[in-house]
Amino acid sequence: MEHPIRFVIEKKLDGALGRAGRIQTPHGDILTPAFVVVGTKATIKSLTPEQVSDLNAQVVLANNYHLYLQPGFERIKKAGGLGKFMNWNKPTMTDSGGFQVFSLGVAYGKKVSKMASNIDTENIIQKDNDTISSESAGSLAKIDEDGVTFKSVIDGSSHRFSPERAIEIEHAIGADIIFAFDECTSPLSPYNYQVEAMDRTHRWAKRCLDFHNSSVNSNTQGLFGIVQGGRFEDLRKKSAKIIGEMDFAGFGIGGSFDKNDMNTAVRWVNEILPENKPRHLLGIGEPRDIFGGVENGCDTFDCVAPTRQARNGALYTKEGRINIRNAQFADDFTPIEIDCQCYTCTNYTKAYIAHLFRADELFANTLASIHNLYFIVGLVENIRKSILDGTFAIYKRNFLASYYK
């Protein structure tokens, strides 16, 4: 079918899967690679949409589950859709709520991330009974073949998402790019459970696509399918083949990964997915991971890290992150970065920002978030430029050597 989302490749990386391109949406083009700013509840915490736009951000992603709970998808539809509701006139995305299957399920109340380091694959395969599963005690999400029953993080009330219900909500919210409902698993889940969850994700993907294609919303919103399979090569490749053969407008690559070898898993997937459609790497925002994702064929990335870390006083610089609360910055009357052109660095010093954090002033969150988003949006924009002018390898080497020195 003819999709409302189209993708044009402008230049490919020599000897790699990376490319610079353009995603065409009803609300404007997204020049790729691009960083997608996360506005979970139709807002980027502590910032106005105008401030986010001034950072050269091209697209905002909101969360289907959270907007369903508050203020309710019917209210957003009545307001004219996500963009009008939040006063954002550029492209928008919504995830499906699939991540909440993980965060409210196996990960709830535990220090479990969808990214893990040094995963012992063989050990996980062997120890099925000793590894956490989606049915962990105390979770707020229970999975069955037909969907997921959630408990509200607001009042504990019970709610039900089937694949069709998730897409119905995304249709009402009205983002340009929406994602199929999937099961995001833990990187510690055993092989047998990864197979079970992946197969279920594939069945849900088909149901999402059928429901979407039967709606008039298929003329204005592009549905992306999501590849799962954990850290296992055979599962990732199988998922990429099955999802890639479905007629989605684009694709998302979901967790869970071994962080130390994420690039390999991404390459497995993107060597199989159709080249002529966009690929989004979900929940990735660390600079080295973005470089790896781009090099291995991903076009867009989203992550809460830049703003979340900003609110904790962690600020990005070309020489790595700094903690602005450290005593050394209390009398430092220079910008966060001398050559940074963001509003924060143009007008304020590290000493002032450090004062705001120490005094628990809300303005600290605004200034820190502006700088971090400007930094990460600009980084991905510069990666795009380096692909176009043939200097990607040099730019990657120099940036990473400085940032992780």
Number of other CB atoms surrounding residue 154 within 10 Å: 9
**E strands of 122-221, at which residues?**
141-144, 147-151, 158-161, 177-179
CA pair distance 163, 206, nearest whole angstrom: 9
From 14, 29, 95, 247, active-site residue:
95
The separation between the first and the last C-alpha atoms of the chain, rounded to the nearest angstrom, is 49
309 neighbors 372 (Cβ within 8 angstroms): yes
Instruction: Respond yes or no: is residue 339 known to be catalytic.
Output: no
DSSP type of residue 105: T
Number of other CB atoms surrounding residue 348 within 10 Å: 18
Give DSSP secondary structure letters for 225-253: EEE--TT-HHHHHHHHHHHHTS--SEEEE
CA pair distance 176, 62, nearest whole angstrom: 11
Contacts of 257 (CB under 8 A, 6+ apart): 114, 115, 116, 187, 230, 231, 265
Instruction: Respond yes or no: is residue 210 known to be catalytic.
Output: no
Number of other CB atoms surrounding residue 175 within 10 Å: 26
44 neighbors 38 (Cβ within 8 angstroms): yes
From 176, 182, 289, 302, active-site residue:
302
Active site residues: 95, 302
